[in-house]
A = this chain, B = another copy of it.
Amino acid sequence: MSDTPELVAALAAIVGEEHVTTSLSELDRHGHDESAHETVLPDAVVFPATTEQVAGVVRVCNQRRVPMIPFGVGSSLEGNVTPLHGGVSIDLTRMNRIIAVRPEDLDATIEAGVTRRQLEARLREDGVFFSVDPGADATLGGMAATGASGTTAVRYGTMRENVLSLTVVTADGEIMRTRSRARKSSAGYDLTHLLIGSEGTLGVITELTVKLHPLPEATASAVVNFPTVRDAVEAATETIQMGLPVARIELLDEVTMHAVVLRSQLPMAERPTLFIDLHGSAASVQEHAAALGEVVAAHGAEGYEWTTDPTEAKRLWSARHQVYEATIALRPGCRGMPTDVCVPVSRLAECIEESRADLDRSGVFAPIVGHVGDGNFHLTIVVDPTSAEEVEAAEALHDRLVQRAIAMEGTCTGEHGVGSGKVRYLPIEHDAETMAMMRRIKDAMDPLGLMNPGKVLGPAVP
């Protein structure tokens, strides 16, 4: 962009010279996320420190008709933060203040650049926790923008259920707060949920008030092997249908277990496995463990043990948390192309089984992990980005997977968002009227189309 120096000067006037950069390494870091999606460089990266500075940055970009892309730590998986049309990457990581923690109200107010682990560390002293855990040490702002969830959603919900209020810079550089801090409100339209999952296309989230939960009195964790993936999925489905309040119930297929064992060196069997967590009082955890024991035994599980030792549990779960990196490491030089369908739980076993058969036929390498309590699972397709043939086969597999999930009344994305990677699936999932309504809302909230252009709905109709 020829007028970049002028743009940089205008941004510097807002945030200070040292907080705007056009260095190639920073442009590159802000030009992609953790997925295999292509890198496109922004023209500049700006690091505002306050909501007011973000508003100033947005006004500068607005005046110059420059695209704006909010950026956290770049841990998204669908190219959600890639500046497809250049412009300014608004890096929010300097906005990392924990403004207030209120254990008495079970809520906290934080800036958008606070990361999950940073918040977790701060909360521990108060005996409370924030439940949403997508694995990556993402920023809370990014998690809200993506509608993230992860392993604990089955019990505590996704970001949608755990955000009370947002402070947002609108596309024209105004600052708005979506709602009060009250637990319940029917005071006007639900702007909070409209912004959650909007991926920076409707405004920039700069501050969040999130719900907290009291630390459970007792926990128990188990790593349970099954003869087949279907057995594991059916055990998980039955657990949910019975209303057993598991805190997490995660599927890893045998290939994923192989990757995890390689990386973690933990002595675990390389078989289809459920990682299960229970939270509650000592008595209820014991009771639920017994009930779960019957369920998993009926599906062929054997030889597992519950641990109530937090250190041991953390070690087990750290293995689960390394799945993405561990899986990609199986094919050095390759990149991840994670899929993210979610179906009603009654269709889950069938959907996974059909997908597995499809996978085997296609020759694509893609271990399966799943937040099976919610009906959400990922094929982590590992592709050699230099092989056009592999990429094409992977994309065809993904297309078939999405078609299959939608035919089962599911969705193309349970938690990763649309980014640019799933733009083509949205009109398959939603009817034309729904798409038109989303477009109308986008046009109303971002009339110039400068907020993370090309994402979620894709290019505006010309």
Contacts and interface: CB of A to CB of B under 8 A. Distances in A.
A37 B202 CA distance: 37
A414 to B, nearest CB: 4
A406 interface: yes
Given A103-B241, A431-B177, A188 B457 contact: yes
Contacts of A177: 430-431, 434
A191 to B, nearest CB: 6
Interface in A187-230: 187-194, 196-198, 202, 213-214
Contacts of A105: 344-346
B104 A345 contact: yes
Contacts of A157: 161
Contacts of A146: 186
A426 B187 contact: yes
Contacts of A441: 189, 191, 194, 441, 444-445
Contacts of A414: 182-186
A101 to B, nearest CB: 12
A188 B444 contact: no
Given A187-B430, A438-B188, A102 B344 contact: yes
A374 B107 CA distance: 13
Interface string A227-256: 000000000000011110000000000000
A34 to B, nearest CB: 16
Interface stretch (A16-24, A278-286, A303-311, A316-324): A278-286
Contacts of A445: 437, 440-441
A147 interface: yes
Contact of A187 (B175, B180, B182, B422): B422
A107 B345 CA distance: 11
Interface in A324-382: 340, 342-346, 371, 374-376
A160 B431 contact: no
A164 to B, nearest CB: 9
B426 A188 contact: yes
Contacts of A48: none
7 A-B pairs with the lowest CB-CB distances in the bound complex, closest first: A214-B243, A193-B193, A444-B444, A176-B433, A147-B186, A185-B411, A104-B346
Interface string A390-407: 000000000000000110
Contact of A197 (B180, B186, B435): B186
B182 A344 contact: yes
A144 to B, nearest CB: 11
Given A180-B406, A187-B411, A284-B284, 16 more contacts: A105-B346, A106-B243, A160-B193, A176-B431, A176-B434, A179-B411, A180-B411, A183-B345, A186-B413, A186-B414, A186-B418, A188-B430, A189-B198, A189-B441, A190-B193, A283-B287
